[in-house]
């Protein structure tokens, strides 16, 4: 078994993609070493990091001799042996994956740091405009997820699955940007249930901030 020093997460405390991977590692009870890549100050653009990850994004996970990037691909790799985060049945897996991608493909890419910086610096948007943009895509995605959400438990039933892993970082960011969430009570209840678990608590940005 690999020691903690063998598994390295190139991380940024406020990155929701990195937050997802922290949750998955903690749910799997995998010990790892975190190396901070401060994307707010451009660490991801340094040649030393680009050599490892040419896309210059976080997270990246060094595990089993592999340098893995893209959070959803990393989580899929972590879940390869026992399918805790996805159903085994192909159709059920596709449905769960599609719901997770509402966050990972439809909400998050439009609202991540580099997009918000572009809105401000290149398109001259002020705080009001940026907030309106941010809220629009969160609310659109959450409307769909609220209809899929169970009344009890997690999206994964008795245990969190890939949707829950993606949802909690996105709710964290929604609150950070003062997105109104009153219309999403089931999502809020799932957020509370997840954040009562140690794996989620240990992954919260303020609990890993360098």
- Give me the DSSP letters along 151-169: SSSBTTBTS--HHHHHHHH
What pLDDT, on the 0 to 100 scale, is given for residue 112?
82
Q: Is 29 exposed, middle or buried (0-12, 13-18, 19+ CB in 10 A)?
A: exposed
How many domains, in total, are found in the chain?
2
What pLDDT, on the 0 to 100 scale, is given for residue 1?
41
Whether pLDDT at 118 is above 90: no
Mean pLDDT for the chain overall: 94
What pLDDT, on the 0 to 100 scale, is given for residue 111?
85
Q: Percent of the chain beyond pLDDT 70?
A: 98
- Residue 149's nearest CA partner among 83, 82, 86, 96 is 96
Whether pLDDT at 3 is above 60: no
Q: Is 36 exposed, middle or buried (0-12, 13-18, 19+ CB in 10 A)?
A: middle
Residue that terminates a domain, selected from 55, 82, 109: 82
Residue that terminates a domain, selected from 54, 82, 110: 82
Whether pLDDT at 4 is above 80: no
In a domain, 1, yes or no: no
What pLDDT, on the 0 to 100 scale, is given for residue 125?
84
Domain that residue 35 falls in: 7-82
In a domain, 20, yes or no: yes
> 110 and 187, same structural domain?
yes
In a domain, 2, yes or no: no
Are 140 and 66 in contact, with CB atoms under 8 Å apart? no
Q: Is 31 helix (H, G, I), strand (E, B) or coil?
A: coil
What pLDDT, on the 0 to 100 scale, is given for residue 50?
95
44-103 pLDDT per residue, tens: 999 999 999 999 999 999 999 999 999 999 999 999 998 999 999 999 999 999 999 999
In a domain, 190, yes or no: yes
Are 8 and 62 in contact, with CB atoms under 8 Å apart? yes
Residue that terminates a domain, selected from 82, 108, 135: 82
- Give mean pLDDT, residues 126-153: 94
What pLDDT, on the 0 to 100 scale, is given for residue 5?
55
> 94 and 46, same structural domain?
no
Query: How many CB atoms are closer than 10 A to CB 83?
Result: 12
In a domain, 147, yes or no: yes
155-208 pLDDT per residue, tens: 999 999 999 999 999 999 999 999 999 999 999 999 999 999 999 999 999 999
Higher-scoring residue by pLDDT: 199, 119: 199
Q: Is 65 helix (H, G, I), strand (E, B) or coil?
A: coil
Domain of 70, CATH number, reads 3.40.30.10
Pairing of strands 8-11, 33-36: parallel
């Amino acid at each position: 078994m690999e020691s903690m020093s063998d598994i390295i997460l190139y991380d940024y405390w406020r990155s929701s993609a990195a937050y997802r991977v922290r949750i998955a590692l903690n749910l799997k009870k995998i010990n790892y070493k975190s190396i901070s890549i401060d994307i707010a100050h451009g660490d991801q653009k340094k040649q030393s990091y680009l050599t490892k990850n040419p896309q210059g994004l976080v997270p990246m996970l060094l595990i089993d001799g592999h340098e893995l990037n893209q959070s959803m691909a990393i989580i899929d790799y972590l879940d390869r042996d026992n399918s805790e985060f996805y159903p085994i049945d192909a159709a059920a897996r596709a449905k769960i994956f599609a719901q997770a991608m509402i966050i990972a493909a439809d909400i998050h890419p439009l609202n991540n740091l580099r997009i918000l910086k572009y809105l401000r610096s290149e398109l001259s948007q002020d705080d009001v405009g940026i907030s309106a943009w941010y809220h629009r895509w969160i609310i659109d995605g959450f409307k769909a997820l609220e209809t899929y959400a169970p009344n009890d438990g997690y999206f994964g039933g008795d245990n969190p699955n890939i949707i829950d892993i993606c949802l909690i970082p996105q709710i964290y960011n929604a609150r950070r940007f003062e997105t109104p969430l009153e219309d999403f009570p089931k999502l809020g209840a799932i957020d509370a249930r997840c954040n009562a678990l140690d794996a989620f608590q240990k992954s919260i940005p303020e609990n890993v901030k360098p």
